[in-house]
Amino acid sequence: MALSAEHGQGVGDLLDAALEELPRVGPPEDETGPLRIAIVGRPNVGKSSLLNRFLGSERAVVSPIPGTTRDAVDSLLERAGKRYLFVDTAGIRRVRHLDENVDHVSVVQARRSLERADVALLILDAAEGLRDMDATIAGYVQEAGRPVVVVVNKWDVAGERELKQRAFEQAVRDRLKFLAWAPVVFASATTGKGLSAVLAAAERAHQSSRTRIATGPLNRLLARATALQAPKAAKGNQAVKLLFATQIGVAPPTFVLSINHPVDLHFSYKRFLENQLRKEFGFEGTPMVLKVRGRRH
């Protein structure tokens, strides 16, 4: 095989060829289990109501009083031959407003639910619009590294309030810029509209988080990306070359980028590469991790 170690040309194809005859490792046994979904959102956005609508039964305490759902409730749903395990988290409240020990426990349970889940549903309230706490909870999801679907609940009031999907979604994008890759689904726990779309989006997000890209196609895409826009170092003005890249993990998809200097890439350039990867390979609804490994001379 013809390659150039100096410029990284052909290295990806070489790695593919080297690994081609190795036996494939089967998926862990727990991957055959139900899709674990954490329902998160600030108090009173309709998390319990959504769960009840999914299950068709009053399995969680529903009350107009914020913070009623004190404990995480795990409920199994079987639908169209598929299984979903909902982890209905307690309402996440502002820590500075907590005045009972049970509320502190609720926050801990909510964050643990994210750690246990395959996918998170971030519930927003169409009637009340976006609040600062929505962004805070979205930050919890991002910290957990979980795929996420943004669910705009109570969309049955859209008509009377003259709400438009495009405008509301743009507001979500403006406030939650760090979740630009997350799909937005409009639904109603009251009418049941949009719930099938929520589950479908959760499945796609989970599948994206488990996606592996072969080294050859990955490096060919990055070669086109660097030709389109030259790499930029985080510090200094030395010329940086992207030698080759490989995917080292999933959930979330994690990539190592090898470059010719012991520096990091500029955050804006890593964002550019992430956008190129999403455009080429999808990765809808899942975070991605790009690690940079610099070569020391």
User: 112 with 178, same domain?
Assistant: yes
Pair of tokens at residue 28: 């862990």
What is the pLDDT at residue 71?
54
Domain boundary among 151, 182, 208: 208
pLDDT along the chain (297 residues), means of 10: 78 80 63 86 86 76 55 77 77 46 52 88 95 89 94 96 96 96 97 96 97 95 96 90 94 95 94 96 96 83
Residue 167: Cβ within 10 Å count = 10
180 and 82 in one domain? yes
Same domain, 51 and 157: yes
Closest CA to 258 of 270, 272, 241, 273: 241
Q: From 189, 208, 227, give the residue that closes a domain.
A: 208
pLDDT of residue 278: 96
CATH number for the domain spanning 120: value is: 3.40.50.300
pLDDT at position 9 is: 76
* pLDDT for 64: 57
Q: Domain tally for the chain?
A: 2
Give the separation between CA 199 and CA 283, rounded to whole angstroms.
17
CATH code, domain carrying 231: 3.30.300.20
Fill in the DSSP letter of residue 71: S
14: number of Cβ within 10 Å: 16
Do residues 101 and 37 share a domain?
Answer: yes
Q: Strands (DSSP E) along 126-229, which ranges? A: 148-153, 184-186
155-162: list long-range contacts, CB under 8 Å, 24+ apart: 155/126, 155/186, 155/187, 155/188, 155/193, 155/194, 156/188, 156/190, 156/191, 156/193, 157/126, 157/127, 158/126, 158/186, 161/126, 161/127
**How confident is the model at residue 63, as a pLDDT?**
54
Q: State the pLDDT at residue 70.
A: 52
Q: Could you report the per-residue pLDDT of 225-276, keeping only the tens digit for each?
A: 999 999 999 998 888 999 999 999 999 999 999 999 899 999 999 999 999 9
